[in-house]
Structure 1
Amino acid sequence: MLYRAYQTNADLLSPSRLAAQYLGTALWQSKADRSLTRRIAAAMEVYSRMRLTHARPPYDIESVMVDGEEVAVHEEPALVAPFGTLLHFRKDTSAVHPPVLLAAPLSGHFATLLRETVRTLLRDHDVYITDWHNARDVPLWHGGFGLDDYTLQIISFLEAIGPGAHMVAVCQPCVAALAATALMSEDDNPSTPHSLTLMAGPVDCRINPTAVNKLANERSIGWFERNLISRVPWPHAGMMRRVYPGFLQLSAFMSMNPDRHKQQFAKLFQHLVDGELDQATTIRNFYDEYLAVNDLPAEFYLETVERVFQTYDLPRGELTVGDRKVDPSAIRKTALLTVEGERDDICAVGQTVAAQDLCTSVRPYLKTHHLQAGVGHYGVFSGSKWNTQIYPRVRETIHTAAELH
Structure 2
Amino acid sequence: MLYHLNEFKNVAMMPTKMWSDAVGMFASAMPTEADSYSKILSASSQIIGRSAMTFDQPQFGLSQTVRHNEVLKVVEKKIMVKPFCTLRYFQRQREEGVVNFKDPKVLICAPLSGHFATLLRDTVKAMLPHHEVYITDWHNARDVPLKEGKFNFQTYIDYLLDFIRHLGKDLHIIAVCQPAVPVLSTVSLLAEYNEPCQPRTMTLMGGPIDTRVNPGPVNQFAEDHSMLWFKNNLISKVPGSYVGAGREVCPGFLMLQGFMSLNVQRHQEANFNLFKKLIQGDREGAEAHTKFYDEYRAVLDMPADYYLDSIRIAFKEHLLPKGLLTWRGYLIRPEKIKKTALMTVEGELDEISCSGQTYAAHELCSKLPDTMRSHYLQLGTGHYGIFNGRRWREEIQPLISLFIREHDRYH
* Pairwise TM-score range, normalised by the shorter structure: over 0.9
| Partner Cα distance (1:140, 1:17) in 2 | 34
Equivalent position of 2:406 in the other structure: 400
Decide which of 280, 284, 307 is 2:286's aligned counterpart.
Answer: 280
Query: 2:342 aligned with 1:336, yes or no?
Result: yes
Return the offset for 1:258. 2.3
Residue 374 of structure 2 aligns to which amino acid in structure 1? T
Separation (CA, whole Å) in 2 of partners of 1:329 and 1:114: 30
Corresponding position: 1:349 with 2:350: no
> How big is each residue's C-alpha offset from its partner over 1:111-146, in whole Å with a ceiling of 9 and x where there is no partner?
111111111111100001111111111111111111
**Structure-2 separation of matches of 1:25 and 1:106:** 39
CA shift for structure 1 position 377: 1.3
Distance in structure 2 (CA, Å) of the matches to 1:61 and 1:18: 32
Alignment of 1:384-399 (within 5 A): 384-399=390-405
Q: Which residue in 2 is equivalent to 1:80?
A: 81
Displacement of 1:11: 1.4
How big is the shift at 1:394?
0.7
- Give the Cα separation in 2 of the matches to 1:180 and 1:100: 16
Partner of residue 196 from structure 2, selected from 166, 182, 190:
190
Distance 1:157 1:25 in 2: 50
TM-score (norm 1): 0.95
Give secondary structure in 1 for the equivalent of 2:59.
Answer: coil
| Aligned-partner Cα distance in 1 for 2:395–2:113 | 26
Q: 1:267 deviation in Å?
A: 2.4
1:58 aligns with 2:22: no
Distance 1:31 1:325 in 2: 72
CA contact (8 A) 2:23 2:41 kept: no
**1:108–1:249 Cα contact (<8 Å) kept:** yes
The answer on whether the counterparts of 2:108 and 2:133 sit within 8 Å (CA) in structure 1 is yes
TM-score between both structures, scaled by the size of structure 2: 0.93
- Among candidates 174, 178, 182, match of residue 180 of structure 2: 174
- Match of 1:315, SS state, is helix
Whether 1:315 aligns to 2:326 is no
1:34/1:270 CA distance change after superposition, 3 Å: farther
Change in CA separation of 1:263 and 1:375 when aligned onto 2, cut-off 3 Å: closer
> What is the total number of aligned residue pairs between the two structures?
405
- Match of 2:183, SS state, is helix
Alignment-mate amino acid for residue 24 of structure 2: G
Offset, 1:181: 0.5
Amino acid at match of 2:243: A
Please name the residue that 1:39 is paired with. Answer: 40
**In structure 2, do the counterparts of structure 1 residues 22 and 234 end up closer, same or farther at CA, with 3 Å as the change threshold?**
farther
- Residue ranges of structure 1 left out of the alignment (5+ in a row): none
User: Structure 1: how far apart are the matches of 2:146 and 2:76?
Assistant: 28
Q: What is the SS of the residue equivalent to 1:119?
A: helix
Partner of 2:376: 370
2:303 to 294, 297, 301: 297
CA contact (8 A) 2:107 2:174 kept: yes
Letter in 2 for 1:45: Q
Distance 1:398 1:273 in 2: 46
- CA distance 1:358–1:21, change in 2 (3 Å): same
* 1:344-371 deviation digits (Å, cap 9, x = unpaired): 2221121111111111222221111112
Query: Residues 174-196 of structure 1, C-alpha deviation per residue, up to 9 Å, x if partnerless?
Result: 00000010111222322221110
Secondary structure at 1:345's aligned position in 2? coil
**Cα distance, 1:107 vs structure 2:** 0.9
**Do the aligned residues in 2 keep the contact of 1:135 with 1:238 (CA within 8 Å)?**
yes
What 5-or-longer segments of structure 2 have no aligned partner? none
After superposition, what is the alpha-carbon deviation per residue over 1:221-264, rounded to whole angstroms, capped at 9, x for unaligned? 01110111111112011111111111111111222232332332
Q: What is the letter of the counterpart of residue 206 of structure 1?
A: R
Contact preservation (8 Å) 2:55, 2:294: no
Q: Quick check: 2:346–2:377 contact (8 Å CA) kept in 1? A: yes
Residue 219 of structure 1 aligns with an amino acid whose one-letter code is H
Q: 1:126 to 1:26 in 2, by over 3 A?
A: farther
Shift of 1:30: 8.2
Q: Give the deviation of 1:276 after TM superposition.
A: 1.0
Contact 1:52 1:291 in 2 (8 A): no
In 2: Cα distance, 1:15 partner to 1:324 partner: 55
Q: Secondary structure at the match of 2:408?
A: helix
Per-residue CA deviation, residues 181-216 of structure 1 (Å, 9 max, x unaligned), is: 011122232222111000111101111111110110
- Given residue 88 of structure 1, which amino acid in structure 2 is its aligned partner? Y
Partner of 1:13: 13
Q: Distance in 2 between matches of 1:155 and 1:21?
A: 49
Question: 3-state SS of the aligned residue for 1:109?
Answer: coil
Counterpart CA distance in 1 for 2:153 and 2:358 is 18
Aligned to 1:90: 91
Matched, 1:205 2:231: no
Assess if the C-alpha contact under 8 Å between 1:78 and 1:160 holds in 2.
no
CA distance in 1, matches of 2:219, 2:44: 38
Percent identical residues: 40
Output the aligned Cα RMSD.
2.0
Matched, 1:217 2:223: yes
Equivalent residue of 1:102, what SS?
strand
- State yes or no: 1:125 paired with 2:138: no
1:24 match: 24
Q: Is the 8 A contact 1:76 1:87 kept in 2?
A: yes
Q: State the Cα deviation string for residues 5-37 of structure 1 (Å, max 9, x = none).
A: 111111121243145346636865889683544
Which residue type is aligned with residue 294 of structure 2? D
Is the contact between residue 231 and residue 308 of structure 2 (CA under 8 Å) also seen in structure 1? yes
Task: Indicate if the aligned counterparts of 1:98 and 1:166 stay in contact, CA closer than 8 A.
Answer: yes
Instruction: Decide whether the 8 Å contact of 2:76 with 2:88 is kept in 1.
Output: yes
* Cα deviation digits, residues 139-158 of structure 1 (max 9, x gap): 11111111111122111111
Question: Against the structure 1 CA distance between its residues 182 and 317, is the aligned structure 2 distance closer, same or farther, given a 3 Å change threshold?
Answer: same
